[in-house]
Structures are given as C-alpha cells and as structure tokens.
Structure 1
C-alpha cells in the first residue's frame, strides 16, 4: 500500500509522543518498530486499533498504545483507529455489541437503547456482562478481518507495482525485437558527363542494299 498516502492520515509521531497519557510509557516509545510503517506493523496497528475501539471502557488510547508496544505494531495507526468510536458512533456500536452479547449468552435484552442513560444506569448490573462479552467478541473478529485484509491489500499493491516496473523494463526490448526491418535504398549515381577526352561512342554500321 502507498506509504505516503497512509502517513498523510496518521498523526505526527512527535504529537503522539507528547500526549500526556502515552508519554508515560517512557523509554518504551523509543522502539523504532512503533513508528516504522511496513506491512506487518501497519496490519498490527489496524488490528489493535479496531479491537480497542470496541472496548466499552475508558482509556482506549492507552490500551491501544500498550498493545502496540507489546506486539511492536505501528503505534500511530493503533491510536488513530480508536476514534472510530466517538460520541456520534458510541450508541449504535455498543448497542449492537450489547445485543450480540445477549445473543451469545442467551439472555433477553433489558433495554431498547443504550442512549437512554437513566435506563442504562438502572440496569447496569444486567447490561455490562452482555455488553463486555459482545464487545470483546466483535472486537476480536473485526481485528482479525482487518489484519487479513490489510496484509492482502498491501501484498497485492506491491505485486502490482512490481509488475508495472517489469513491464516498463521489458517494453523497449520487445519493441526492438518486433520492429520491422527497413532497408535503405542506395541512391542513384548521377550520370557522368563525358569530357572532351572521352572516347566517342561508336556508331553501328547500317548495311546498304545495292539495286
């Protein structure tokens, strides 16, 4: 995948290092693998970011940074993908995770909408287990799918770029091999003007007939 395009949407490494919660990791942030962008590190950062984005807990960025350090994945990618769950997307995402957790545990849902804070607080003891279960399972599945897709797309992009480079290299040789051979005609020699010392042409004798 194009590194320049990816880096355009990632936060600057200096800004990430200066974050008040992330800079507490100290010397662990000096690992170059956390900031280097390649197929393995980027896919790992995507998987960690997607997993932590579905955690129904505070401190998702800190969890993403800790897992990126543990697995030596790209830290900016993991941190930025955490924001897939934001104040606009949290209610539908976590409500879907809650319903999925109820389905896995075989329990009926007790609330119809997680945006209703009064109902959420009143039934918190009955909600948090299905919510956490559904979030962990969905986060794991989403992380695995994201990891495989990124690895595949990165490999496909590299192979396509290499094929185009090889095609450009072989194109001039193929043109020379199949180019038509053009034979140049020799220019006509100009007729030489007989000089004064040249021998006169002999006239053919015409036979005479006597009557």
Structure 2
C-alpha cells in the first residue's frame, strides 16, 4: 500500500532522466536508488527532504536533489518534501527556528522589525544569522530523524498488515477447500 501510494504520485523516472535541464548530471541520474520505492530509499528521502525544508536558504529544491544524489535516496520524494516550507509557512518556520537558536545560544532577546529592503538585510541580518542557522539546523535534523523513523515504522506496519491479510485469505481459502472436500 505505501509503495502504491508513493508510486501513484511519483513522476516517471524516464521523464526525469531525459529532462534537458538535468543533462549535466549525466549518468548520476541512472542510479536506480534515486527512483526506487523501498523502505530505505523512501525513509532516507524523508530525512533529506525534511532537513532541507528547514534550511534558511534559497534553492532548497536543488539542495535536496543534490543531497538525494549524494545519499542515494528517492529524489522525487526528497524534492517534494521541501515544499513544507513554502511562502505561506516560511515566516512561522523561520521565526520558530530563530527563537530556538536564540534560546540555545542564551542570547538576549533581539527586537527587530522586518523590512523588505537591501539596507535592512545588510544592517540587521548579521545580528540574526547565528540563531537562525543554529535553530534551523537542529530543527532540520530533528524533523528529518522523526520523518525517517516514522516512515520506517509506517512502511513496516503496512508490510505486516498485508502479510496478515494474505494469511487470512489463505486460511479462508484452505477452509473453503476443506469444506468442499467434506
């Protein structure tokens, strides 16, 4: 069931391998683990995708793709999970990670007002980057680990459930055959 669910939403590997903008990767995209749907590949993709989603940087999707290549995990799932931090959720996520980083560094509270200008970025960001980066990295590792282990447990539960269903069907068939013989 878990494999069917992911397979339904995953893009075709041949389409990805033949995409013009990805030709520079050459043979790296031909690693079968990048598109396999097994417990380890999907769990690893959850770690990579969730970790990358909490990085306070632009280009999270290419970063997730490169990490998936390096870790040899399912690339489409890793890239899709990056969208947990989207333009609607980013302010809340990065504010929370900044607060966590500030708490971990035991730094005094910093009051600032957000302004979308280059001048604000140059003057305020040097004071904010350390707590933001620390909080983001720790949150990314923790959420990635939670996603990894949750997927391991979910996948194992699905396999056990299917085994039990097949066992029950086999026993029902055997009982039906036994009743027919009697």
Residue aligned with 1:88, SS? coil
Which residue does 2:128 correspond to in 1?
127
2: CA distance, partners of 1:8 / 1:176? 36
Mapped pair 1:141 → 2:147: no
1: CA distance, partners of 2:20 / 2:131? 33
Contact 1:16 1:76 survives alignment (8 Å):
no
Query: What is the CA-CA distance between 1:79 and the residue it aligns to?
Result: 0.8
Which residue does 1:93 correspond to in 2?
93
Q: Which has the larger radius of gyration?
A: 1
Contact 1:11 1:80 survives alignment (8 Å):
no
Contact 1:49 1:81 survives alignment (8 Å):
yes
Which residue does 2:159 correspond to in 1?
158
Query: What is the CA-CA distance between 1:177 and the residue it aligns to?
Result: 5.8
Query: What is the CA-CA distance between 1:61 and the residue it aligns to?
Result: 1.4
Mapped pair 1:70 → 2:70: yes
Query: What is the CA-CA distance between 1:24 and the residue it aligns to?
Result: 3.1
Query: What is the CA-CA distance between 1:155 and the residue it aligns to?
Result: 0.5
2: CA distance, partners of 1:35 / 1:163? 28
Mapped pair 1:24 → 2:14: no
The unaligned stretches of length 5 or more in structure 2 are none
Which residue does 1:47 correspond to in 2?
47
Residue aligned with 2:108, SS? coil
Query: What is the CA-CA distance between 1:171 and the residue it aligns to?
Result: 1.4
Which residue does 1:200 correspond to in 2?
none
1: CA distance, partners of 2:13 / 2:91? 31
Query: What is the CA-CA distance between 1:90 and the residue it aligns to?
Result: 0.9
Contact 1:28 1:69 survives alignment (8 Å):
yes
Query: What is the CA-CA distance between 1:4 and the residue it aligns to?
Result: 2.3
Contact 1:13 1:76 survives alignment (8 Å):
no
2: CA distance, partners of 1:88 / 1:112? 21
2: CA distance, partners of 1:57 / 1:45? 19
Task: Call closer, same or farther: CA 1:143–1:23 in 2, change over 3 Å.
Answer: farther
The unaligned stretches of length 5 or more in structure 1 are 182-211
Aligned residues: 178
Task: Call closer, same or farther: CA 1:129–1:3 in 2, change over 3 Å.
Answer: same
Q: Which of 1 and 2 has higher RCO (CA within 8 Å, sep 6+)?
A: 2
TM-score, structure 1 length as denominator? 0.75
1: CA distance, partners of 2:110 / 2:14? 45
